[in-house]
Amino acid sequence: MLNKETFTNGITVLQKMFLNWTFNSKDPLQMQLWYEAFQGMDDKQFMQVIKTYCTTRIHAPNNPNEILMILAEEEEKNYPDPNKAFEAVRELIRTWGWIWGRQDIYMAIEGNPALVKTVKEMESELRELTADDKYTPERFKKAYAINLKTMCMQKRDQKLRLGAQQQPKAIESDLGRSLPYET
């Protein structure tokens, strides 16, 4: 669970990197709301996300989700891009075809839930795929990109919820005092 001092240090880093950032670290409600977005992270992970944001973005964050998107982007790097994913499926179809049964195809790609979902959604079109078909590959790549982004964001949210549930008491200092609700 994220330590209050580490959170404050991360906010300070953002303020120093983005001089025009209008974040008010003296406002306890604003600090509480931003902290709640990150509380499921550990200290090291939080500071790594802040560092990555500062080195890859040119604008100050408008909300915590802009910073949290980095977690989804990092998760996305663990899976093939849409072009490689389509070529892998095309090669499986060439090698095994659908004659052997669709379970062979799904067993070969089971490590990538986004790819499995995309193949299931487009199975009928993939069965009819021809070498000169230009529409199906583009449609497949777009659907896979959407499924991959959704899956990575869900994994990010799941990790954050799991971390937040480990210690439900969010802030143990004056950071959360004088708020309109209990912390």
Tokens for 75, please give them: 């998760």
Q: Which residue has the tokens 């509380």?
A: 39
Based on the fold, state whether residues 86 and 64 are members of the same structural domain.
no
Q: What is the pLDDT of residue 157?
A: 85
The conformational region for residue 182 under phi > 0 = left, psi -120 to 50 = alpha, else beta, is beta
Tens of pLDDT, residue by residue over 142-161, are 999 999 999 999 988 887 77
How many Å apart are CA 105 and CA 101, to the nearest integer?
A: 8
3-class state of residue 22 by DSSP: coil
Residue 173: pLDDT above 50?
no
Q: Where are the alpha helices (DSSP H) in the chain?
A: 4-17, 28-38, 43-56, 64-76, 82-96, 102-108, 113-121, 123-127, 135-166
Based on the fold, state whether residues 9 and 43 are members of the same structural domain.
yes
The per-residue pLDDT of the chain, averaged, comes to 84
Based on the fold, state whether residues 123 and 149 are members of the same structural domain.
yes
Assess if residue 163 is contained within a domain: no
Tokens for 48, please give them: 């790594």
Range of the domain at 42: 4-71
Residue 63: DSSP 8-state: S
Assess if residue 27 is contained within a domain: yes
Q: What is the pLDDT of residue 98?
A: 64
Assess if residue 171 is contained within a domain: no
Assess if residue 35 is contained within a domain: yes
Assess if residue 117 is contained within a domain: yes
